[in-house]
Amino acid sequence: MNGDLLRTLEGPENCLKPKLIQASREGHCVIFYENGFFCTFSVNGKLQATMETEDNIRAIQLSRDGQYLLTGGDNGVVKVWQVSDLKQLFYNDFNRWHHEYQTRY
C-alpha cells in the first residue's frame, strides 16, 4: 500500500461533515451528514440521490445486496429505504409499540 487517493465523493454544497457511512460490496456508498441529508453514490463516485430528514439519525445499515437501507434515530422510528432513489418503503414506530405494550400489560 502506498496511500494513493483513489476517489473522493463530492456531495452537495451544504453536505460538509459526514456523520455515518455505509458501503455495499459492489462499491455503492450511502452517507448521512450532520445537517440531516442522506446522499447515495454510485461505484464511480457519482451522486445518485439526496434526501433530507428531520430525525437525528443514530444508525444506518445496508442490506447484504446493497439495495435497501435501514435507519434508526432519536424519534424511535426505524425506516427501510430503497437505496437507488431513497424512497421510503417501510417504517415501524417503536414509541407507539411501547405505549400500546404499557397500556395492555
List the pLDDT tens digit at each of the 105 positions of the chain.
Answer: 678 887 788 888 888 899 999 999 888 899 999 999 999 999 888 999 999 998 899 999 999 889 999 999 988 889 999 999 999 999 888 776 655 555 665
pTM: 0.81
**Which residues, at least 6 apart from 90, have a Cβ–Cβ distance to it below 8 Å?**
79, 80
Q: Of the candidates 62, 53, 52, 50, which has an alpha carbon nearest to the alpha carbon of residue 21?
A: 62
Domains in the chain, ordered, with CATH? 18-104 (2.40.10.480)
Contacts 24+ apart (CB under 8 A), 64-67: 64/25, 65/24, 66/24, 66/25, 66/26, 66/28
Q: For the chain, how many helices (H) and strands (E)?
A: 1, 8
- Cell 437507488 maps to which residue? 84
